[in-house]
Structure 1
Amino acid sequence: MVPASSEATPRKRTTYTDEFKRTTVARLHSGEQSATDLAIELGIRRNMLYKWSDKIEKQAPDKELRAPGRPATDELSEIEKLRRELAKTQEELAILKKFDAYLTRLKK
């Protein structure tokens, strides 16, 4: 049996202001500190930093708060669309080249 004094008490959830989250994410993206070091310094879990970062990136209309080198979701979909279009065009070009070679052989 466990003594009453050693029973686990529920931890109180800490809430952080939006400004604190934005500042923390900006520090994370600056690259001056690793996510682990920043989390230890602030006394929070590292995965919380990434959750805040993802949430802010989705909400940020400007690219200022986004991670460097990471395009927004709409940009990613546009890139994917352009890649599919490029693949289709390359396939069409290959077919046309084969057809041209075929016609050249027929003329000889």
Structure 2
Amino acid sequence: MKGMRYPDEFKSEAVRQITERGYSVADVAKNLGISTKSLYKWRQELAGHNPPKMSADINALRQEVSRLNAALRRATEERDILKKAAVYFASQPE
């Protein structure tokens, strides 16, 4: 599709799939039948349109990931303690 012109809505949705939904540039380009070069160019052109919202979303997601990692770490430690206690009590003669 050399020389094809795409509407701005198409471009912004393609870039949104990369920036907000986390798809790779190669995957989006393949799915939409466009070049990765075009996607990189569109992403650069659209980068200044709404960075505050995206950076706030990214910060919120990072905080949530940190919170979930801490909760997982605690649950794993509790599970390990319970496993050790079960082994201990199972080995005790009555």
TM-score (norm 1): 0.43
Q: More helix by proportion, 1 or 2?
A: 2
Rg larger in 1 or in 2? Answer: 1
TM-score (norm 2): 0.48
